[in-house]
Amino acid sequence: DGGITQSPKYLFRKEGQNVTLSCEQNLNHDAMYWYRQDPGQGLRLIYYSQIVNDFQKGDIAEGYSVSREKKESFPLTVTSAQKNPTAFYLCASSSPAGTGNYEQYFGPGTRLTVT
Amino acid sequence: GDSVTQMEGPVTLSEEAFLTINCTYTATGYPSLFWYVQYPGEGLQLLLKATKADDKGSNKGFEATYRKETTSFHLEKGSVQVSDSAAYFCALRSGANSKLTFGKGITLSVRP
């Protein structure tokens, strides 16, 4: 079955540590995205990548970093510079603009708790 | 810039009640519009979409019509079930970029 996997589902870290969240897709999609979800705030875009080896900052990129070395993978690192890292993180992918298929497909999410 | 406004929640309904969740948008050009559903602890799933004015998206008894004159994409269902309890997000995509702009979402609870 094609889809997006995120691991782990729950992640606990101490303050001051960097942590990397995994996102893998086998949908052959070019574009991938990272969102952060907080209660009552909907989804906010952290970073996105429209093609391998290229990515752009979203609305709340500060304190985060990404890489896109392979089409299938788009890991997100939450650095110690992120002031409030505890949140639910969602990864998504889509076909590139121009294909006529604009919807994004989401992974199951990773809940990160930093204490 | 683009924006999506959803009605304030949460919403609680009895089973078999009629559901309307309002969504209005601001965008340049002619955006594509989406409704996503999120069950507790899970990622988002596409519920329905519409890509041009007057299109009606439908799925699982839910419907929404793309109204360009009122810049709206309200979600409706004639008879909700307990299993419809979830968070619902309206979203749009406009221009050449594949990014989506989401509303804040609304939580629906359906009681038996």
Provide the residue count of chain A.
Answer: 115
Residue A25's pLDDT band (cuts 50, 70, 90): very high
Q: What is the mean pLDDT of residues B11-25?
A: 97
Cis omega (within 30 of 0) for bond into B10:
yes
Q: What is the mean pLDDT of residues A90-105?
A: 79
Shortest distance between the Cα of A67 and any Cα of chain B, in A, equals 18
pLDDT digits (tens, 9 = 90+) for A43-52: 999 999 999 9
The phi and psi torsions of B82 (rounded to 5 degrees) equal: -55, -35
Asked if pLDDT for residue A1 goes beyond 70, the answer is no
Of B42, B45, B103, Cβ closest to residue A42: B103
Across the interface, whether the CB atoms of B104 and A41 are under 8 A apart is answered yes
Residue B19 CA to residue B63 CA, distance in Å, equals: 10
Asked if pLDDT for residue B65 goes beyond 90, the answer is yes
Residue type, A9: K
**How many interface pairs between A and B have CB atoms less than 8 angstroms apart?**
55
Q: Which pLDDT does position B47 carry in this prediction?
A: 97
CA distances from B14 to B10, B11, B18, B56, B112 (A): 14, 10, 9, 26, 6
pLDDT digits (tens, 9 = 90+) for B19-37: 999 999 999 888 999 999 9
Q: Give A98's contacts in chain B (Cβ within 8 Å).
A: 96
Across the interface, whether the CB atoms of B97 and A31 are under 8 A apart is answered no
**Other CB atoms closer than 10 Å to residue A75's CB: what's the count?**
17
Across the interface, whether the CB atoms of B105 and A42 are under 8 A apart is answered yes
A24 CA to centre of own chain: 10
Across the interface, whether the CB atoms of B44 and A50 are under 8 A apart is answered no
* Calculated CA dihedral for residues A81, A87, A88, A91, nearest 10 degrees: -20
Across the interface, whether the CB atoms of A103 and B105 are under 8 A apart is answered no
Q: Give A107's contacts in chain B (Cβ within 8 Å).
A: 43
Q: Give B99's contacts in chain A (Cβ within 8 Å).
A: 33, 45, 48, 58
Q: What is the mean pLDDT of residues A41-69?
A: 94
